[in-house]
Amino acid sequence: MTAIAKADSPARSGLGLLVAGKFASTVAYSILWVLLPLYVYRSSGSALAAALASAVNVLPFLLFGLLAGAVVDRSSPTRVMVWMETANAAVLLCVPLLAGTVGTHPAALILVGFASATVYVWFEVASSAAIPAVVGKDGVFRANSYLWMAGTVVTSVAAPVGFFLLDALRLGPTFAVLAGFYLVSAVLIALLRLADAAAPEPGRARERGAIWAGLRFIGGQPLLRAYTIVNVGVGISAGAVYGMLVVFASRALGLPTDDYRMAWIMTACGVGALLGALAARRLKTAPPVPAARWLIGADLVLLLAYAAAPNWAVALAALLCWNTVHTCFMVVGISVRQVITPLNLQGRVNAVGRMIAWGSVPLGTLLCGWLTEALGPRRALALLAVCALAGLVVALRTPRTLTLEEAAR
């Protein structure tokens, strides 16, 4: 893997290219996963088919995440990113080809979505592994802050942009445009040039049990182990909030689904994510364990305040503050993981982190949906806040003397 770049002008230009490339990739990814379930539902009329079209976005990371980490660690992360973006463009170009020949059957679109999500696994693992190599470990917090903010902005406008493209261009040309964004990302990432580039070490990540090395490293590193366990509880409670925004606003706050206040609540969630990503880099020098305790404690209190909100205005304020704190904790957690992890394990360790995130959040959504039907939305959210409480207990039991400097040695 590429050696850590010094925090000089090449590193800054590398960060700019990485952010621009990730921005273009996120545009294609976000719009794709708005349009694909929508079009499958429109064309099939089946809620099950639409749910399957959404599920194939998550499944590949759970299936291939560990393998992707091992592949990235024995190659150059930027090289993997370029190849995967090119491959994803080729996958999406199958849609206009199908539209012009045999037609876009829902089953075919679901297969395209699965293939695209599978390719994205390798890209996402490689992009996480590339950050310390591009900016140096001193720049990790700042880089993740920029990347998270860019992703939040794109995600917030993905739905209206996707609807506009679909109405204006139809399905085939829309997917061709999205493929173009992946190609733009590939070109930008290919321009990355690091001052101290080094070839991968012979045999790296080919040793016996290499795929599981990320799990072993996390298990043996006390600070990283604590952050990883905490992320499970925090992720489940976050999935309950994110996945049930509309349901909570409708059933708990009494808002019609076409009420403008529903849009304001969702906007507040996005604004909170932006503020949280911006605040995260301010915690670069904060002791990691006390920072985690305060952030998780605030996350828990604000989640309960949101669940108990008597009206939409209080819910909006609580949700904005909650997502600010939650996003800040997530960005800090990612940055801590990247700072602690040696360069030759970045792919595998970050793959484990992403698998936990991609598994716990949907699990929280499913649990909250089930509990909402049985207990109502407020009690469901309050009950799943216990998961965040469990994370807080783990953080409180973690020695506050653990530091990034000691862990990174």
Q: Report the C-alpha gap between 35 and 6 in whole angstroms.
A: 41
- In three state form, how does the secondary structure of the chain look? CCCCCCCCHHHHHHHHHHHHHHHHHHHHHHHHHHHHHHHHHHHHCCHHHHHHHHHCCCHHHHHHHHHHHHHHHCCCHHHHHHHHHHHHHHHHCHHHHHHCCCCCCHHHHHHHHHHHHHHHHHHHHHHHHHHHHHHCHHHHHHHHHHHHHHHHHHHHHHHHHHHHHHHHHCHHHHHHHHHHHHHHHHHHHHCCCCCCCCCCCCCCCCCCCHHHHHHHHHHHCHHHHHHHHHHHHHHHHHHHHHHCHHHHHHHCCCCCCCCHHHHHHHHHHHHHHHHHHHHHHHHCCCCHHHHHHHHHHHHHHHHHHHHCCCCHHHHHHHHHHHHHHHHHHHHHHHHHHHHHCCHHHHHHHHHHHHHHHHHHHHHHHHHHHHHHHHHCHHHHHHHHHHHHHHHHHHHHHCCCCCCHHHHCC
**132-141, 156-165, 398-407 — most confident range:** 132-141
Q: Stretch 46-69: mean pLDDT, rounded?
A: 82
Give the pLDDT confidence of 315-340 residue by residue, as tens digits.
999 999 999 999 999 999 999 999 99
Q: Stretch 291-319: mean pLDDT, rounded?
A: 95
What pLDDT is stored for residue 405 in this prediction?
Answer: 65
Say whether pLDDT at 221 is over 50: yes
Say whether pLDDT at 8 is over 50: no
What pLDDT is stored for residue 9 in this prediction?
Answer: 52
Q: Write the single-letter amino acid at 164.
A: F
Give the pLDDT confidence of 97-153 residue by residue, as tens digits.
998 888 888 889 999 999 999 999 999 999 988 898 888 888 899 999 999 998 888
What pLDDT is stored for residue 227 in this prediction?
Answer: 92
Q: Decide: 7 and 138 in contact? Cβ < 8 Å.
A: yes
What pLDDT is stored for residue 1 in this prediction?
Answer: 39
Share of the chain above pLDDT 70, in %: 91
Give the pLDDT confidence of 334-352 residue by residue, as tens digits.
999 999 988 888 999 989 8
